[in-house]
Chains A and B, each alone.
Chain A
Amino acid sequence: MANDYLKEHILLRHKDNPNIGDIDEYLSDGGYEGLKKALEEMQPAEVIEAVKASGLRGRGGAGFPTGVKWSFIPKGAKDVYIVVNADESEPGTFKDRELMEYNPHLVIEGAAIAAYAVGARTIYIYGRGEFKGPFVTLQKAVDQAYERGMLGKNIMGSDYSLDLHLHLGAGAYICGEETALLNSLEGYRGYPRSRPPFPAVEGLYAKPTVINNVETMANVPGIIRHGVEWYRQFGTEKSAGTKVFSLSGHVNRPGNYELPLGVPIRYLIEELGGGVPNGKRVKAVLPAGESSLMVPEDKLDTPMDYESMGAIGSMLGSASFIVMDETVDIVWAAEKMIHFFKHESCGKCSPCREGTYWLSNVYHRIRSGEGTMEDIELLPKIIEQMSGNTFCPLGEFATSPVKASLLHFRHEYEQYIKK
């Protein structure tokens, strides 16, 4: 048993089979059977239909249905690209790195199936510059896949040829945003692009492009190999499949845990994470890294799926659960998060660039004991001017720590003024 909700690991298969990173072990575990089946028994359109029917949703944050995204690629388009998003810079998120380092062939196989489905000849995996080390491991797996004919000319004896290249960014959170990523990959500053045109129409080098997260790709081989019904036994109607949950902060056993979607937050923190150290209570949890709205302790029975997390006023996103215990100074935590967004704002639009700058100043004043009640009033005014006015979602993300901490823990701000 992987855990009470999952018999065997699917994505984190290396936890059951530590050598799965080697192609021979991967093959003897049924690896590349999904790709083989797609190539030999299915038309590209059938692959897209299967992924649509599986209910798989993007694991990079937005939760967009993957098969639907693939179907946006114009039929018969030439020079289609697959880009795998391995930027993984959201604080609290460390699942894609583990997948690439320990189960790399699952990611490669998934991307290859995606490429076949949309008629792409080239895959780029874009990793954050800090993944230089993990990319050495991943490159070894890619080389093995080329040697065995899973990549390159006429893959697996078919008439379909496919190349896969790794590309490293150079330190910039914004490059995880898909259009900024494309600019970065083309050798430009990582500024987001305006949409439309959407990447499916004009993406990399202005060609139709599918961009998916690493973990999204890792879900694909199982869907094709075992079928839609098998996949749908995991998770809920609208949030199908399993998901890797990155658990960090105040827990005894931080780490990545795979669960079907829909398991209560409490199980992740208390059972898998071993609870909060020293018998402390949970004060709040950030369910999708620093971009998400924190939820207080009384929400821990919420099922971890896209709908339920939305219903409690937050989101599932990349499922990076950061636990803060009762001793955490929420104003300190919010200031740290604002510092992050100020640092990572690309500077292209003023509501985000200026907004994060002003927020940071106000937090500094409050935290250094020089704040007034008016400063607390100022915070919602600043985020109001940012909301809906920023060029990309980062500016919106930057308002989350302020909004949620004021909503649930306003008294902690007031204590700073009274001190």
Chain B
Amino acid sequence: MWSEAEQRELEEILKKYPTKRSALLPALYLAQREKNWLDDEDMEAVAEALDVPITDVHAVVGFYTLFRREPTGKHMIHVCTDLPCALRGAEEFYLRLTERLGLPPEGGTTEDGLFTLEAVPCLAACDKAPMCQIDLQYYENLTDETIDTVLAQLRAEAQQETKA
């Protein structure tokens, strides 16, 4: 399951810790990188590479919100709607975005499979609300227009990729 490059990356990661198990979260990120979620095979590969029981890998994956067990859109959009951001209009910003993406208020994946939208708790950017992370990169002081521009760009990129 690991490519040669990933194998090398994993070896570099392992050097940082006195136990293999400490590399569990970094290894799971590596396994999740390509398709955005973890299937049974990915988790088995991690368990094997680190000598961690597979049940433990399952337990850890289930504990942390940034690991996903189901297919998602190509890009993950996390909009913060926690209290400090909500005081600056983040809930309305989020709801308008769900509408423009044709999603229900609880978010989800767009029909074209490009975006998965989620409302999340504080992301340590409360002074720059409304804000979001797309694939864990920060986008701050957003308006409907600026977020639409970013999403349009990602759509265009995806189209380029399918053509190529």
Which residues does A use to contact B, with CB under 8 Å?
88-94, 96-97, 128-133, 165, 167-173, 184-190, 205, 246-250, 254-256, 286, 290, 322-324, 328, 333, 336-337, 340, 343-344, 346
Whether the pair A94, B24 counts as a contact (CB closer than 8 A) is no
Interface assignment of B3: CB less than 8 Å from any CB of chain A = no
A169 to chain B, nearest CB (A): 7
Q: Pick out which of these stretches binds chain A: B99-107, B124-132, B146-154, B155-163.
A: B124-132
Tally of A-B Cβ pairs under 8 angstroms:
136
Once the chains bind, are B127 and A91 in contact (CB under 8 Å)? Answer: no
A-B contact pairs, 17 of them (CB 8 A): A89-B122, A91-B83, A94-B127, A165-B17, A167-B16, A168-B26, A168-B29, A247-B127, A250-B87, A254-B126, A254-B127, A290-B83, A322-B84, A323-B87, A328-B87, A336-B83, A336-B86
B21 touching A189, Cβ below 8 Å? no
State whether B19 touches A88 (Cβ < 8 A): no
Residues of A within 8 A of B87 (CB): 248-250, 322-324, 328
Measured CA separation A56–B65 after assembly (Å): 34
Tell whether, in the assembled complex, residue A170 and residue B66 are in contact, meaning their CB atoms are under 8 Å apart: yes
Whether B29 pairs with A189 at a CB distance below 8 angstroms is: no
Tell whether, in the assembled complex, residue B137 and residue A133 are in contact, meaning their CB atoms are under 8 Å apart: yes
Q: How far is the CA of A95 from the CA of B63 in the complex (A)?
A: 26
B32 closest partner in A (C-beta): A170
Contact A188 to B60, CB < 8 A, known contacts A94-B124, A130-B124: yes
Q: A130-B133, A324-B87, A328-B87 are in contact. List 20 more A-B contacts (CB 8 A).
A: A91-B126, A92-B122, A130-B123, A130-B124, A169-B64, A170-B29, A170-B66, A171-B65, A187-B22, A187-B52, A189-B63, A190-B63, A249-B87, A249-B88, A250-B87, A256-B127, A286-B83, A336-B83, A336-B86, A340-B122
Contacts of B22 in A (CB 8 A): 167, 185-187
For B26, what are the chain A residues with a Cβ–Cβ distance below 8 Å? 167-168
Q: Please, which residues of chain A bring their CB within 8 A of the CB of B137? A: 132-133
